[in-house]
Amino acid sequence: MSLQGKTAIITGSNSGIGLGIAHEMARAGASVVINSFTDSDEDHALAKSIAEEHGVEARYIKADMSKPDECRALVETAGRCDILINNAGIQHVAPIDQFPTEKWDAIIAINLSSAFHTTAAALPKMRAAGWGRIVNIASAHGLTASPYKSAYIAAKHGIVGLTKTAALETAQEPITANAICPGYVLTPLVEAQIPDTMKEYDMDRETVIKEVMLKRQPSKEFATVEQLGGTAVFLCSDAAAQITGTTISVDGGWTAL
Ligand code: NAD
């Protein structure tokens, strides 16, 4: 599945799933733009290592996805935008009546509104190029709910709705918009939840992984960032040209239950 000649922007891609997708896009021959809000030497080194490993152009562009202007500037600065992967995301866990407003606002801004702003900036470029692919990283929590993740679940349900709307607005153009719904993937975002969960349930790390996290995942295995990247490459390939407005679950059976 060759993506040669295409440029892919992956938001929030200096770690975890975004970085995995950047590698798989580059492996398929796309030029990649990786992003975060940090602008560290490590971020630029990551872009360099992707370029060297896959023999493609790879750049790092700083943009804070909580800020509408920076979301749009990311797409403008990148130049081409054939493929847009909206992946940046954060998480906070608390009951609704104790959920800090600033956390709610940040999660909605980064996990949902950023995708609206980048999509708005990318569509004119895709139309001018006569080809485009939008892949939004939602979650099993975009299709199901669980307690204490209200903002995350609202944002992920929202991004599924945004994906379907973008698909309908581009249905008669060579542009598609789809969402990937991962189950649990062992990234820094999930690692950060383990210590609190260990405390809450008085369990060791292995038991938290098995009995709390993978309990909902019938495969009893984490999905990998490479598997997420491969799914994104497929959605950007010609084979997927008629797939639009849908969600693909990469969740070991979670949403089949
Ligand atoms: P991660 O913490 O490794 O990655 C999150 C990325 O978002 C990082 O690159 C970080 O720099 C970036 N980011 C955070 N705030 C940002 C901001 N303000 N501006 C720009 N970038 C910002 O976590 P991950 O698990 O790889 O998460 C990636 C996406 O996958 C998220 O949208 C997450 O909701 C989704 N997801 C993850 C899982 C999982 O189990 N790991 C499951 C379902 C969905």
- Predicted confidence (pLDDT) per residue in 210-252, tens digit: 999 999 999 999 999 999 999 999 999 999 999 999 999 999 9
32 three-class SS:
strand
| Cβ-based burial of 67 (10 A; exposed 0-12, middle 13-18, buried ≥19) | middle
Name the average pLDDT for the chain: 97
99 Cβ inside 6 Å of ligand 1 = no
CATH class of 7-184+224-251: alpha beta
The ipTM, to two decimals, is 0.99
Query: Cα of 65 to ligand 1 centre, how many Å?
Result: 11
Closest ligand 1 atom, CA of 13?
9
If you search the block for the tokens 């239950």, which residue do you land on? 257
Ranges of beta strands (E only) in the chain are 7-10, 31-36, 58-62, 83-86, 132-137, 175-182, 247-250
Residue ranges of domains in the chain: 7-184+224-251, 186-222
Nearest to 13 by CA among 187, 191, 134: 187
**What is the residue with the minimal CA distance to atom 6 of ligand 1?**
12
Whole-angstrom distance between the N-terminal and C-terminal Cα of the chain? 32
- Summarised one tens digit per residue, pLDDT across range 26-37 is 999 999 999 999
pLDDT mean over 108-123:
99
- Summarised one tens digit per residue, pLDDT across range 88-110 is 999 999 999 999 999 999 999 99
Q: How far is CA 82 from CA 59, 71, 111, 186, 219, in A?
A: 15, 16, 21, 29, 34
| Cβ-based burial of 200 (10 A; exposed 0-12, middle 13-18, buried ≥19) | exposed
Query: Cα of 172 to ligand 1 centre, how many Å?
Result: 31
Q: Is the pTM of this model over 0.95?
A: yes
Q: Decide if 60 is catalytic.
A: no
136 Cβ inside 6 Å of ligand 1 = no
CB neighbourhood size of 97 (10 A) = 5
65 Cβ inside 6 Å of ligand 1 = yes
If you search the block for the tokens 């493609």, which residue do you land on? 56
